[in-house]
Chains A and B, each alone.
Chain A
Amino acid sequence: MFSTRTRHLAFAMLCLAGLARPAAAESTLIMYCGVDENWCRAMTTEYQKQSGVNVQMIRMSAGEIYARLRAEKENPQADIWWGGTGDPHLQAAEEGLTEEYRSASLPKLRDWAQKQAERSKYRTVGIYLGALGFGYNTEEIKSRKLTPPACWADLIKPEFKGEVQMADPNSSGTAWTALATLVQLMGEEPAFAYLKKLHANINEYTKAGAAPAQAAGMGETLIGIAFQHDVIDVAIRGKPIQVVSPCEGTGYEIGSMSIVKRGKHPDEARKFYEWALTADAQKLGAANRSYQVPSNADAPIPPQGPDLSKVRLIDYDFAKYGSSAERKRLLARWSTEVKAGAK
């Protein structure tokens, strides 16, 4: 009586059995990738081509990767975490989710990348630097005959009321960098006074960090606060947007790389780690429209990227502003005093 159904069931079971196949054990590398998909894919295929190792790549935002590593702590699924903003890398290092490793090529790296490694007790290392800034929609500025903004101070001008977009620092690492940058640049009290004035000009606190750059490119907002390479990326896709590096100076992120503790393929992870720090591997970013500054001093700085001689970088205190306690305190203050405040 059940023959058909039993058969179906058996078939389903068979399919499931097939699905439960384990990942192949030899010469595999499982990578969580925290940058743009194209760049992730280029890194994967290029390394696969050179080494013959089968790389399984999963792209997520840095926050997602950090949350996933925490959830997988008892039985780590990944071997290496490549890319994504530095704070969650530092946090993972602090919690012992990642492995200590000193690469022989550390001295070849630019200063900030080495500092990132020291800071984390060599559980992570810098692979690129991205400066914070903003972008404005050139067509909208022109049609409304406004002076283009050049400084942080310009963003609180009354003519930009309801025209500035930034991400919510509670959800976005980019916006957290912006908050920490302003606090370091101006001092905490003046920074919060500034943020309250800025609040009147903000039309939306987006969830994702790169969203304001895209919205400014589409004309959905006049100005978007984001990383400069995100703005440039939108511009290169043909949108009318101009990147600005604020005149008062600005903060930056250090995109990082960490080896996952107790990963299943530690040797492959280390080999990839070394390769990813070479100048040749770091050239792949610019070739795939990601114009951050590479950490290997021999890798050329992409000409399309922000002109670092004109960008005034502040001396960003990653140790202080990367710690959970300081972050919690500033975020809570921002949420109650700025975001919940009246316009």
Chain B
Amino acid sequence: MLARELAKRGYGDGQSFVTGSLLLIGGAIAMFVAYPILCVLTSAVRDDAGAFAPALFLAKLTGHSIWGFDCLTGGACGVAWNSLALATLVGVVTTLLGLAFALLAVRTDLPLKPLLRGLSILPIVTPPFVIGLALILLFGRAGMVTNWLALHAGIPRSRWIYGIWGIGIAQVLAFTPIAFMILAGVLAGISPTLEEAARMLRATPWRIFRSVTWPLLRPGLTSAFLIGFVESLADFANPLVIGGNFNVLSTDIFFAVVGASHDQGRAAVLALILLVFTLAAFAVQSWWLGKARYTTVTGKGDSGLHAPLPLRLRAASLLAVVPWLLLTIGVYGTILAGGFVAQIGRDNTPTMQYFLTAFSVDRGVGGWFLSGSAWPSFLTTLELGLIAMPITAALGVLTAYLLDRIRFRGRDAFEFLTMMIFAIPGTVIGIGYILAFNAGAIQLTGTGLIIVAAFVFRNMPVGIRATLASLTQIDRGLDEASLMLRASRAATLRRVILPLLRPAIATAMIYSLVRAMTAVSAVIFLVTGGYNLATVYIVGRADVGEYGVAIVYAAVLIVFMMILLLTIQAVAGKARFGRRDEAVAVVS
């Protein structure tokens, strides 16, 4: 009703669907993102007794442990610099690797394409803890590879994996597939017309790539970088497992809250810095993209052939991809095998003991029942993840549509808010959610609802990013044509845009479910006795050194999610651009 009233006044295009959606999403974001974060951040300017203390805030903000440059003189640098360096490194490497993958998968006819796709999905479905653990089992000072090298090549054993290199490798393994999914979508969406035109003008493949394809990839590249950068900033599990003395903001925030010093003010200050970094990444992105247009899918005819990939580029891509693949295979071999031997690397006797502890099914008086210790958390996680999935995807796509297609006041603030929850470490979100929803008007703690809300709003940004990247390539002319024909905005979105966005929607859904099933830090504060979650359980097992059960559970989760994922992909399917393909072209 309010929406209709506002629409009449001409806000947001004058359609009640648009204003209604804006109100819905704006309200939801204000309530589930801005408000909880505000609850935490206000403690930045308070002392322990809760009084307003700006001087203390300034002292904490400029602290040496945050901004120090001691690493230049042999000490350790401040956490802010550490996080920034790591995130930049990971952002760049994942983007380039993702591009190499996307080029090979979309633009070549290499026979290993299905393998590429399959392997690249693996890290997304992996509970975050596990990659770091597997890296230690392989490359730690007493790791399998390290031992082998020491024995056969005389390379002395060291602890090099603990620190920026270990975290970097683990994060690159984990986040490259997201870059790949974004870039593959963008690459597939580039209309061949321009490349074909360049080819007609006798440009070499390399020149076509440099001057046509690469510029058109910009929105995808920046999106991929931004996600890699922000994911790295917010990643909690890998620095925890393999970080050594290399401190980063996300773990420092966690331990400022739950550690022996119990300094929530410091946590809030660190979270503030993390937010500023994210904001800066945003600013850089919009500056680089500038005002250029990237639309290539128009309402006009859209047939043609993509230019072949330059040979040099193809070779370089392969060269980049192969080490990644080998490492991935090594890590996953360790994970899958690790759960079924007594003690991996030390005692390789096969055993089913861990699997049975976690997932056994017994027959009792009342028939079959699930007696394994992992079942309750597994089923709860699945239930909550499945509920969150469609909501996340719908909100993500709708938000992206509004951001890209509608002009309204406060658009930039809106966009920033949607990214914000993504950038803040889960622990802060968790505490914010408790502070915001434990007392007062809306009481959600202790219910599954609060976990679903955390999932939805934490994972929404990926849906938004993926959809935005695809949307920038779809000509507004299509919308306009539909609107001219008197279709409403809603009908245009449903009939014209959504079908073209199918890959983006699939990405959003997959990612939402998978992240929900593998999230740790945001929900560790929200779980209650009735809603124990899979990853919280896994971390608990690993915490006490029961690596067998932890690894077997992770392996089961991975296999299960792979199956789920392939099903969703098959159902959601590809966008139908209606292009002729290579084979047809040859015949004609």
Contacts and interface: CB of A to CB of B under 8 A. Distances in A.
A268 interface: no
User: Which 5 A-B residue pairs are closest in the complex by CB-CB distance?
Assistant: A56-B529, A219-B142, A171-B255, A171-B259, A74-B439
B75 A340 contact: yes
A30 B48 CA distance: 28
Given A19-B449, A170-B255, A331-B260, A218 B438 contact: no
Contacts of A16: 387, 449, 452
Given A61-B258, A77-B446, A218-B142, A71 B544 contact: no
Nearest to A17: B449
A210 B544 contact: yes
B75 A342 contact: yes
Interface stretch (A152-160, A230-238, A294-302): A230-238
B529 A63 contact: no
B162 A204 contact: yes
B257 interface: yes
A7 to B, nearest CB: 12
Contacts of A66: 258, 262
A37 B544 contact: yes
Nearest to B389: A12
Contacts of B271: none
Contacts of B452: 16, 19
B438 A75 contact: yes
Interface of A: 1-2, 8, 12, 15-16, 19-23, 30-31, 36-38, 41, 55-61, 63-64, 66-68, 71-72, 74-75, 77, 87-88, 91, 162, 168-173, 175-176, 203-205, 207-208, 210, 214, 217-221, 233-234, 237-238, 324, 327-328, 331, 335-336, 340-343
A67 B261 contact: no
B21 to A, nearest CB: 12
B540 interface: yes
Nearest to B529: A56
Nearest to A340: B75
B64 to A, nearest CB: 8
A204 B446 CA distance: 37
A71 B447 contact: no
How many residues of B sit at the interface, in one of the four size bands? 35 or more
B65 A71 contact: no
Given A58-B527, A64-B525, A340-B65, A75 B545 contact: no
A208 B75 contact: no
A169 B490 CA distance: 57
B496 to A, nearest CB: 14
A210 B445 contact: no
B261 A220 contact: no
B260 A175 contact: yes
Given A71-B434, A218-B140, A12 B261 contact: no
Nearest to B548: A237
Nearest to A217: B545
A219 B346 CA distance: 11
13 contacts: A1-B494, A23-B446, A37-B544, A63-B259, A67-B431, A168-B255, A169-B260, A171-B259, A205-B245, A238-B347, A324-B48, A327-B260, A335-B65
A287 to B, nearest CB: 15
Given A23-B530, A220-B159, 8 more contacts: A19-B448, A30-B529, A60-B524, A67-B431, A207-B240, A218-B142, A237-B546, A340-B75
B434 A72 contact: yes
A214 B550 CA distance: 15
B142 A220 contact: yes
B367 to A, nearest CB: 22
A304 to B, nearest CB: 16
B545 A233 contact: yes
Contacts of B494: 1
B304 interface: no
Nearest to A209: B260
